[in-house]
Amino acid sequence: MAGPSGEAHLTLMNTHTLPPRDEMLTAFLNRDGAYEGVFVTGVRTTGIFCRTTCSARKPKPENVEFFPSTRDALLAGYRPCLRCRPMVRPGEVPSWLEGVMSAVEGDPGRRWRDADLTALGADPTRVRRWFQAHHGMTFHAYTRALRLGAALGRIQEGDTVSRAAFDSGYESLSGFSEALRKLAGAPPTRLDGAPLLQVTRIPTPLGPVIAAADAERLYLLEFADRRMLPTQLRKLGKLLGCVYVPGTNEVLRALHEELDEYFAGRRAGFTVPLASPGTPFQETVWDALRAIPPGETRSYLEMARIIGRPTAVRAVARANGQNRLAIVIPCHRVVAADGSLSGYGGGVWRKKKLLEIEEGGAGY
């Protein structure tokens, strides 16, 4: 099957910052051992992920993506490579665990239980603690991730929910439904024919952001710790009738690159295609926000006048706060009438930093 696409989980994504893609690609193609532990590589055409030093034939560059940890690759739907065994790094796995790892690799769709570990001569508590310490997840979470990730990957490629569930080791659709509900916030029946928005977590100097996009446009960009984020996700999901799944696509990859350039002071505006559905009034306000030049600010009163509604200052403020696309639709450029930095969903301290970044890079 074709490999899945994704490099993040909505809540579990490791916030470790990866090296530039070109650097990682060079390291992977050259089997550079110096990058062991820095990233793992997912191969879309095979659905597996590998260590940097994997001896298998290298895929085309456009068919690979990179993850900061094995956990992230698993949750994006990739399977560990049986040749380089990325879950079993040299010198890392003790001899008492080797039998367990070999057994799981031989039967990844199996529902492993403590009794199975005991039968293999391993103490379940010891196994759980080792996985938690080395991979940030328990053994059972690891095997669930293997099965759930594989099923999600197949669904995203067009397979039916029932076939993906049963072929990935789920004994019933209800079991798969519960696992998917926890992950994507929706039962799997909604995935059949429903729009899919892939969700990724992107690290920035001001903290990680959550982004959601389909193959064509970006729908959501919020700081991960914003209290309104769950509400924004629910409202957008209801508005679009969509389902969120962990993953990435060309829109999200382009966004990540443009955010890096923006925070480095090398980019003034964003070219990522946006979708910001709302009421006619909200969309008018959001369009006006995008017209504010970097390095400049407007007051709420000025914004009301710009859109031809000079008495709608409070409504403008509400629409400003309801913006789902932080930074790229620059609601941070709106300030109080006296020029002070009024409330901002991501925190006033972030608003201050964003304005400083734009003032410093005004020449671009």
Whether 50 is a known active-site residue: answer yes
DSSP 8-state symbol, 293: P
For residue 325, what is the DSSP state? B
Helix (H, G, I), strand (E, B) or coil at 279: coil
- Determine phi and psi for 90, rounding to 5 degrees: -55, 130
**Which has the closest alpha carbon to 345: 199, 203, 240, 221?**
221
Interacting residues of 355 by C-beta distance below 8 A, sequence separation 6+: 297, 332, 333, 341
Catalytic residue among 81, 84, 242, 331: 331
Q: Residue 129 phi/psi, 5° resolution?
A: -65, -35
HSE (CB half, 13 Å, CA atoms) of 214?
A: 14
Q: Hey, is 127 helix, strand or coil?
A: helix
Q: Kindly report the length of the chain.
A: 364
**Is 54 one of the annotated active-site residues of the chain?**
no
The answer to whether the beta carbons of residues 52 and 10 sit under 8 Å apart is no
Catalytic residue numbers, as ranges: 50, 331
